[in-house]
Chain A
Amino acid sequence: MKANCWMGKKRVEVQNVPDPKILSARDAIVRITSTAICGSDLHLYNGFVPTMEKGDILGHEFMGEVVEVGKDVSNLAVGDRVVVPFPIACGNCGACQAGATSLCENSNPNAWMAEKMWGHSPCGIFGYSHLLGGYAGGQAEYARVPFADVGPLKVPSHLTDEQVLFLSDILPTGYMGAEMCNIEPGAVVAVWGAGPVGLFAMASAKLLGAERVIAIDRYEKRLQRAVVGAGATHAINYEEHDVYDTLQGLTGGRGPDACIDAVGLEAHSDGAMYALDRGKQALMLESDRPIALRQAIRCCRNGGTVSVIGVYGGFIDKFPMGAVVNRSLTIKSGQCHVHRYMRPLLERIESGELDPSFVITHSLPLSAAAEGYDMFLNNRDGCEKVVLKAA
């Protein structure tokens, strides 16, 4: 089959690789129809995530048709159309039974690597480094899906791939980011990053009752999409306006009730701190640049919540803990427990409340994956989200 493989820093290549086979009675094989490039794939592409091996198949947002099931998978049949959640979860361990599927205790066979880095291991993830399992990803024609009796969600045929594909990651991730804010009626929520996850966090904040939703980014097209597509009430281009002052002006000097960091470890800014963080990252003095996170903490109102859904991998510097402690801030974070949100969000899509397809700007064949990565990374042609068609 054809699959998009990581071949080194800023190098991906669609190669011919062996087809996947069932390895466990709880596996299924899915013939992939649509798959997407995630913002977090760019961290792999840019070489910020350790334990990648040359030849790893990338991709953790995918859907398709079941073509084979292991003998213990009784809920799926050949021919079913499914969306596959990016966290691999067994459904049996304590974490899964508590609904925290991204903390599955059994799905990462390389848990020892994650323990060295983070103390304990989260779940395994498709196509996302050996530290998170060493699983082949879904930017391919076929994928083996472990614990297929737990993860894949059957989707009705009247919805298009574009409408349901993002149930695999970015829609639930954005939703969980908003949910962690404990939004009360009339709340003001500011979202750093108007990439696809940020847009879904904005749309979710509105659904959950936020009165004002403020989008922060530097690309005008993304800010427009935030207002038109995601229902943001205000947009701040941080290259033109001071974010702190603008947010103060929009909140009567209180600051937003909740701040969502949908940017993560490769944040940009125009200040001196950016150059400093860039330099430190190059010298391995810190692995992640927490520029958006620092600003979100500084801007948040006293007693407010900072929700972190942008990806961080390692260590950050100059973390403003003084602001957190002295101003009673709450910080919440996590990789999304996708399984928990898929069904309720599918219902919102079916009812017409949500149509996640508005984030898509480019649809390319799988064979053009390399072009898609380059386009997404460099924001060429107003790129917001690339869907790769594998069939």
Chain B
Amino acid sequence: MSQLTVPERVAGLIGLRNRQQTRWVLRALGVREILTGLGILARREAAGPLWARVAGDAMDLGLLGGSFGAKGTRKGRLLASTAAVAGVTLADAYAAAGSSRNVSVQKLVGPIHVVRSITINREPEVVYQFWRTLENLPKFMAHLESVRDEGDVSVWRAKAPAGTSVEWRAEITLDIPNQKLAWRSLDGAVVPNRGVVCFQAPPNGRGTEVLVELKYEPPGGALGAAIAKLFGEEPGQQIAGDLRRLKQVLETGTVTYSDASIHSGMHAARPPAPDERVTLLGASEV
């Protein structure tokens, strides 16, 4: 902000000569800072504007570096300013890198893409077969109510807001036994989605590494927003939870329940009262 309003003071402070040209460059830089700042504040997902800040910092470093040769500059102050900007650049780059890792939430804008993996202490054949038996999916996928395999197509039913449910049809697009399975929803799905899951033995040869990649496109409108929310504020976390339950089911025979986890939302770690509703996901026999 001070670059915009009192560029001459800023110039003196960082060790530059107070010239007309310097003042205009500083004003322009001030506008750039404010724009990227607004960008960061306006968006929940700040990685883009944060990287713009890093680019801006690099520009500042370049300009400062170029000023070292110029007449009438104060080298001590310039050096200090350069060091300070270098520090800010590092901080911005760190923040941008951190933010980029969380970019999975692209709510209502473009498809959501999630990749997650887990290691399961069972042979790939067992894990593949369990997954390929599509009726098993609701035993560990929290948002699914049922999957019915009808041969060429399967019918998926998921929980939707306000106690309702949505249904769609899907087809298997790739099936390499014990290695890879891919599927996609057919036309007419409320939330078009596709996924692929790979099963492979880890380097030590014990168990199975399961890698899942999912893409889905929440529709617009209130219904779309509500359905997107169903997949979790953080879709990656939802899928990670599903994979963890898959591991629990295949390794221990059942989903793991704690006294708090059987309730939706936070609940004290104590047994439920007789009239309290609990959800034992996947409690059916495996």
Binding site for B on A (CB under 8 A): 3, 5, 17-21, 23-26, 53-57, 72, 90-94, 97, 105-112, 124, 127, 130, 133-137, 144, 146-147
Chain B residues whose CB sits within 8 angstroms of the CB of A55 once the complex forms: 268-270
Partner of A127, one of B252, B269, B272: B269
- What interface size band does chain B fall in? 20 to 34
The residues in B between 162 and 184 inclusive whose CB is less than 8 angstroms from any CB of A are none
Shortest beta-carbon distance, A17 to chain B, in Å?
Answer: 5
For A137, list chain B residues within 8 Å (CB): 269
Pairwise interchain contact A144-B271, C-beta atoms closer than 8 A: yes
B273 at the interface (CB under 8 A from A): yes
Would you give the shortest CB distance from A104 to chain B, in whole angstroms?
9
Q: Knowing that A18-B270, A106-B256, A134-B258 touch, tell me 6 more A-B residue pairs with CB under 8 angstroms.
A: A19-B271, A57-B269, A93-B251, A94-B121, A136-B259, A137-B269
Q: Which residue of A lies closest to B254 (CB)?
A: A24
The yes or no answer to B266 lying at the interface (CB within 8 A) is yes
Q: Given that A25-B254, A111-B244, A112-B237 are contacting pairs, would A93 and B121 also be in contact in the complex, using a CB cutoff of 8 Å?
A: yes
Residues of chain A lying within 8 A (CB to CB) of residue B247? 93, 105-106
Contacts of A18 in B (CB 8 A): 270-274
Residue of B nearest to A52 (CB): B269
* A53 & B268 in contact (Cβ 8 Å cutoff): yes
| Contact indicator A23/B257 (Cβ below 8 Å) | yes
Interface of B is mostly: loop
Residues of chain B contacted by A93 (CB below 8 angstroms): 121, 247, 251-252
When distances are taken between beta carbons in the complex, the residues of chain A under 8 Å from B253 are: 25-26, 72
- Do the beta carbons of A134 and B261 come within 8 Å of each other? yes
Task: Verify if B267 is at the interface (C-beta below 8 Å from A).
Answer: yes
Once bound together, how far apart are the Cα atoms of A25 and B254, in whole Å? 9
Q: Which residues of A contact B207 (CB under 8 A)?
A: 94
Interface positions of B (Cβ within 8 A of A):
119, 121, 206-207, 237, 240-241, 244, 247-248, 251-262, 266-274, 280
Given contacts A97-B121, A111-B244, A112-B240, contact A146 B256 (CB under 8 A): yes
Q: How far is the CA of A5 from the CA of B270 in the complex (A)?
A: 9
Contact across chains for B267 and A53 when beta carbons are under 8 A apart? yes
What is the distance, in angstroms, from A67's C-beta to the closest C-beta of chain B? 14
Give A23 to B267 CA distance when docked, in angstroms: 17
Using CB atoms, name the residue of chain A closest to B238: A112
The 4 closest A-B pairs by CB, nearest first: A134-B260, A55-B268, A109-B261, A92-B251
Which residue of B has the minimal Cβ distance to A15? B270
User: Which partner residue on chain B sits nearest A90 by CB separation?
Assistant: B252
Cβ–Cβ contact A130 & B260, under 8 A = yes
Closest to B119 in A: A94
**Inter-chain contact count A-B, CB under 8 Å?**
112
B266 CB contact (under 8 Å) in A53, A111, A146: A53
Q: Are B248 and A106 in contact (CB under 8 A)?
A: yes
| Cα of A21 to Cα of B121 in the assembled complex, Å | 29
Q: Is the CB of A54 within 8 A of B268?
A: yes
Which chain B residues border A124 with CB–CB below 8 Å?
256, 258
Partner of A17, one of B251, B262, B270: B270
Best-surrounded residue of B121, B240, B247, B271 (most CB of chain A within 10 A): B271
Query: Which B residue sits closest to A72, measured CB to CB?
Result: B253
Known A-B contacts A3-B270, A90-B251, A94-B206; A135 and B258 likewise in contact (beta carbons under 8 Å): yes
The answer to whether A56 and B268 touch across the interface, beta carbons within 8 angstroms, is yes
Most chain A Cβ neighbours within 10 Å, of B237, B241, B252: B252
A53 to B207 CA separation, bound complex (whole angstroms): 36
Contact of A53 with B241 in the complex, beta carbons under 8 Å: no
Contact between B269 and A136, CB atoms less than 8 A apart: yes
**Could you tell me if B268 and A106 are in contact, using CB atoms closer than 8 angstroms?**
no
Closest to B252 in A: A90
User: CA separation between A144 and B253, bound complex, in Å?
Assistant: 18
CB distance from B120 to the nearest CB of A (A): 9
Q: Could you tell me the distance between the alpha carbons of A266 and B63 in the complex, rounded to whole angstroms?
A: 50
A146 to B271, CA, bound (A): 13
Q: Closest residue of chain B to A112, judged by CB?
A: B237
Q: Are A109 and B258 in contact (CB under 8 A)?
A: yes
**Please, which residues of chain A bring their CB within 8 A of the CB of B258?**
109-110, 124, 133-135, 146
B276 to chain A, nearest CB (A): 8
A92 to B251, CA, bound (A): 6
Cβ of A92 and Cβ of B121 under 8 Å apart?
Answer: yes
Contacting pair A21 B271 (CB below 8 A): yes
Task: Sample 6 A-B pairs with CB under 8 A, ordered by A number.
Answer: A24-B256, A57-B259, A110-B260, A110-B261, A112-B237, A135-B269
Given the interface pairs A25-B253, A26-B254, A112-B241, the reply to whether A136 lies near B270 with Cβ below 8 Å is yes
Chain B residues in 8 Å Cβ range of A3: 270
